């Protein structure tokens, strides 16, 4: 399990982004930013961290960039937790 993933989910705002994406399926950076008070530049930074951890995909559709969860990494995270719990 990569350190990058644990660092990515260590931040409360990023976890909130994940749950927003879970709830809505897909959101643009602009839509996500409506749920937060910090700047769009800061949000972009958070999204970059989530992207690098492979926790989200992004795909540009015209002017907008759509984000969605990449659930494959959660599989690994699940394995890590179960390994310690069992």
Partner DNA sequence: CAGATATTTAGTCATTAAACTAAACATCTA
Partner DNA sequence: TAGATGTTTAGTTTAATGACTAAATATCTG
Residue ranges binding DNA (CB under 7 A): 7, 10-11, 13, 28-31, 33, 37-49, 58, 60, 62-65
Residue 19 beta carbon to a second copy: minimum distance, rounded to whole angstroms = 7
Binding track over 20-59 against a second copy, x by CB under 8 A: --x-------------------------------------
How many CB atoms neighbour CB 14 within 10 A? 19
Tokens for 14, please give them.
Answer: 């990023």
Q: Classify the C-alpha dihedral 19-16-30-45 as positive or negative.
A: negative
């Amino acid at each position: 399990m990569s350190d990058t993933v644990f660092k990515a989910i260590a931040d409360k705002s990023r976890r909130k982004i994940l749950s927003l994406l879970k709830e809505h399926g897909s959101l643009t950076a602009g839509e996500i930013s409506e749920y937060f008070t910090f700047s769009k530049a800061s949000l972009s930074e958070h999204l970059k961290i989530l992207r690098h951890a492979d926790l989200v995909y992004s795909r540009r559709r015209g002017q907008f960039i759509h984000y969605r969860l990449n659930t494959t990494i959660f599989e690994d995270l699940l394995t890590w937790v179960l390994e310690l719990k069992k």
